[in-house]
Amino acid sequence: MSSNLQPGDPWKSYPPTQEDQQRIDKAQEMEKLYEGEFENILVRLDRFKAKFADAQAIRLNFFQVMSQEFSKLLFGEDVEINVPKAHQDVMDELLESTALQSKLMQMSDIASSVGGCPLKAWRDASGKVHIDLVSNSIYFPSFDPDDCTLLTGQTIAWERIDGDKKYIVREIHTPGKVRREVLNEQFEPNDAKYQEWYPGIPQDTATGYDGMLVEYIPNYRFGNEFWGVSDYVKIKDVVEEIMIRMSSIADILDKHARPKQVMPAELLDKIQNMLQEFRNDMVGTGMISRTEADVMTRSGNLPSNLDAIYVPAEADKGNLPRMVTWDANMTGAMDELDRLFDLFLSLSSMTPEVFGISKYGVSESGRALKFRNRRTLSECNRKRQFMLPGLKNIIRAALSLSGVDINRRDIGIIMQDGLPFDELEATQISAAWVSAELATRESAMLNARPDITRKQAQQELAEIDAKNALSQDDGMPTFSRGAVTPDGYNSEEDT
């Protein structure tokens, strides 16, 4: 078990344990579902394709769509990360230089599909700090023997080929320290290859940070488990059923898209006689050989080439020729599809509005839209609660590498709901906050204009204050609030 492997313990295989191999295989299956590669994963869909080889299997990638919609709702809008004012400039620069916004969207996609995604903070030789995604297939945590949720270390390991030899590069993270080493084919440390590939990089590095520079961000967790849970587990069966039903209906419609003709058998005799006469003429003139003529008029090819059904005229008197049309009723099949889609929405915590499907043709206010999407927003909030602790840890680690040492409680991460922004509603709410003295003008402006930064909001307010001060001091007369006497003098001033 991986919980028995402590950081730096000798390895005998790669991946180090059977449990790790099973976890990686399962994650790769979920990744294939995300990419729409359903073969050998959706078994019932494979059976349908094998049984109806000529039918077109409809591939509906609800998996990718659901993951991407959750990512849009969680990280589609700018994430605001606040730290103490003295270090806010460093945080803003880190957010911009690491392209953290786009990486968080990628992280959300991966977490939704495989259950979680590790993030790593590191500093390159030039001193620049990075936050990067780590593949689940090269991530191997070590756990406390008595608590499977408490990490004692984390190892990032990958294979490297040098000629005809294979090596394993290991990067072992423990609190305050990173150890790098190269293992040879016998899984023994190979100092020569390490120095050749990573000259100037020490094998043991003190990070100056009291935690670890790698954080596993779960989608959400179940029970006393470390690994996150994939969103696909709960929708896999119903999505497979929807694809099978859609494929079956499409197969039926394809078969009846070009109806056959029903014609009297006498017509077939006339056609065959005409072809025979044509054959004889062609052979007689020497234009084709007798063998070629026999192939052209072979009786086995004739009916299929004409794509018709021939019946005795007496069998269907007065109803020939005609088309064979399909009079089956598809209402039941379509109703079943509707119920399956409703079941998918229920299991995925999605709403039709998230997919752009709505029975309402009017533009709704932001409040009404949030109310309709409350189940989806609640699911996003659940994901957010599991993600935030790890995100704060990795941001704190990156800030530490940038020379800023702060506590996790000093980091505030504000994530929007991803729904369309209602400017009018936000402005009215912000104005009400200021009037009721429930918020500063700066906070109100940020609420009404989420597209600007805190520094831009401060500059805007400073310009507004300067403009107001100028309008009050431009030579226009000003009056105090005292009453005016009949002589025209203010009662509060000397007359």
Q: What is the pLDDT of residue 251?
A: 83
pLDDT at 303 exceeding the cut of 70? no
Boundary-marking domain end, from 323, 346, 375: 323
Q: What is the pLDDT of residue 223?
A: 81
pLDDT at 299 exceeding the cut of 70? no
Instruction: Quote the CA–CA distance of 477 and 474 in Å, as a whole number.
Output: 9
Q: Is residue 298 part of a domain?
A: yes
Question: Which has the closest alpha carbon to 182: 200, 196, 167, 204?
Answer: 167
pLDDT at 244 exceeding the cut of 80? yes
Angle (CA) 45-63-375 rounded to 5° is 125
In which band, very low, low, confident or very high, does the pLDDT at 328 lie, cut at 50, 70 and 90? low
- 2 or 354: whose pLDDT is higher? 354
Contact (CB, 8 A) for 333 and 245 = yes
Q: Is residue 124 part of a domain?
A: no
Boundary-marking domain end, from 289, 323, 357: 323
What is the enclosing helix (H) or strand (E) of 7?
A: none
Q: Is residue 269 part of a domain?
A: yes
Boundary-marking domain end, from 268, 294, 323: 323
Q: Hey, what are 391's tokens? A: 């995100």
Contact (CB, 8 A) for 245 and 336 = yes
Q: Is residue 78 part of a domain?
A: no
Q: What is the pLDDT of residue 49?
A: 87
How many structural domains does the chain have?
2
If one counts every other C-beta atom within 10 angstroms of the C-beta of residue 59, the result is 13
Which of 11-20, 55-64, 397-406 bottoms out in mean pLDDT, i.e. has the lowest?
A: 55-64
Angle, helices 236-255/331-348, rounded to nearest 10 degrees = 160
Q: What is the pLDDT of residue 476?
A: 53
Contact (CB, 8 A) for 299 and 279 = no
- 307 or 347: whose pLDDT is higher? 347
In which band, very low, low, confident or very high, does the pLDDT at 125 lie, cut at 50, 70 and 90? confident
Q: Is residue 356 part of a domain?
A: no
Query: How do residues 333-359 score in pLDDT, each as one tens digit?
Result: 888 888 998 899 889 888 887 776 765
In which band, very low, low, confident or very high, does the pLDDT at 363 lie, cut at 50, 70 and 90? low
Contact (CB, 8 A) for 317 and 266 = no
The two beta strands, 129-133 and 177-183, are unpaired
Instruction: Say how many Å lie between the first and final Cα of the chain, rounded.
Output: 95
In which band, very low, low, confident or very high, does the pLDDT at 479 lie, cut at 50, 70 and 90? very low
Q: What is the pLDDT of residue 1?
A: 43
Q: Is residue 273 part of a domain?
A: yes
Q: Is residue 121 part of a domain?
A: no
Q: Hey, what are 446's tokens? A: 């940020």
Which of 51-55, 195-199, 236-240 bottoms out in mean pLDDT, i.e. has the lowest?
A: 51-55
Q: What CA–CA distances, in Å, run from 226 to 29, 147, 222, 359, 434?
A: 20, 10, 9, 41, 44
The two beta strands, 139-144 and 308-311, are unpaired
Question: Which has the closest alpha carbon to 8: 146, 196, 204, 165?
Answer: 204
Largest CA distance in the chain: 137
What is the enclosing helix (H) or strand (E) of 131?
A: strand 129-133
- 477 or 250: whose pLDDT is higher? 250
In which band, very low, low, confident or very high, does the pLDDT at 304 lie, cut at 50, 70 and 90? very low
Q: What is the pLDDT of residue 253?
A: 80
pLDDT at 483 exceeding the cut of 50? no
Query: How do residues 151-201 score in pLDDT, each as one tens digit?
Result: 999 999 999 999 999 999 999 999 999 999 999 999 999 989 999 999 888
Q: What is the pLDDT of residue 450?
A: 77
Q: What is the DSSP letter of 363?
A: P
Q: Is residue 103 part of a domain?
A: no
Structural domain span for residue 437: 421-477
The tally of CA atoms less than 13 A away on the side-chain side of residue 308 is: 16
What number is the average pLDDT over the span 356-376? 67
Q: What is the pLDDT of residue 289?
A: 66
In which band, very low, low, confident or very high, does the pLDDT at 314 lie, cut at 50, 70 and 90? low
Q: What is the pLDDT of residue 287?
A: 64
What number is the average pLDDT over the span 297-311? 53
The tally of CA atoms less than 13 A away on the side-chain side of residue 290 is: 1
- 271: burial class by Cβ within 10 Å (0-12, 13-18, 19+)? middle
Q: Phi/psi of residue 486, each to 5°?
A: -60, -25
Query: How do residues 201-215 score in pLDDT, each as one tens digit?
Result: 888 999 999 999 999
Q: What is the pLDDT of residue 147?
A: 82
Could you tell me which residues are beta bridge partners of residue 231? none
